[in-house]
Amino acid sequence: MQELRSSVRFPIKLPIAVGTETATQHAAETADISAGGVLFNVDADMSVGSTITFHIAMPAGVLGTPTDVLVHCVGRVIRCTAVDGKRAVAAVIDEYKFERG
């Protein structure tokens, strides 16, 4: 099977809060992140095609920066599958903005 992903994935586990179109917030944890998307684990089912928002605090130690970098992201759910009693949600990142502290 041919690999269709165009970005390198980084296996980083970080806590995030995912906002949905209904303004509901869900606690989640990233499984991996790439320049174009994110895979995270969450207790809620999310509809494919739905818009989500989330913030990721990228650790200073991982980035080699003096402080953590907060990234605000807007994306779309492209897959939601059941894994070990949770949902593994893959989302494409449509917009992102670095926020200053």
Q: What are the structural domain ranges in the chain?
A: 15-99
- Could you tell me if 69 and 57 are in contact, meaning their C-beta atoms sit under 8 angstroms apart? yes
Rounded to 5°, the CA angle 31-78-69 comes to: 45
In this predicted model, what pLDDT tens digit does every residue of 24-56 receive, in sequence order? Answer: 899 999 999 998 999 999 999 999 999 999 999
Choice between 9 and 3, residue whose per-residue pLDDT is larger: 9
Does position 5 have pLDDT exceeding 60, yes or no?
no
In this predicted model, what pLDDT tens digit does every residue of 6-26 receive, in sequence order? Answer: 678 889 999 999 999 988 899
Q: What is the pLDDT of residue 65?
A: 87
Q: What is the pLDDT of residue 39?
A: 97
| pTM as predicted | 0.85
- The CATH code that applies to domain 15-99 is 2.40.10.220
Q: What is the pLDDT of residue 84?
A: 85
Q: Which runs of E-coded beta strand occur in the chain? A: 15-19, 25-33, 37-42, 51-58, 69-83, 86-99
| Residue ranges in 1-101 assigned as alpha helix (H) | 60-63
- 64 Rama class: left (phi>0) / alpha (psi -120 to 50) / beta: left
- 51 Rama class: left (phi>0) / alpha (psi -120 to 50) / beta: beta
Q: Residue 55's closest CA among 35, 75, 36?
A: 75
Q: Calculate mean pLDDT across residues 63-92.
A: 93
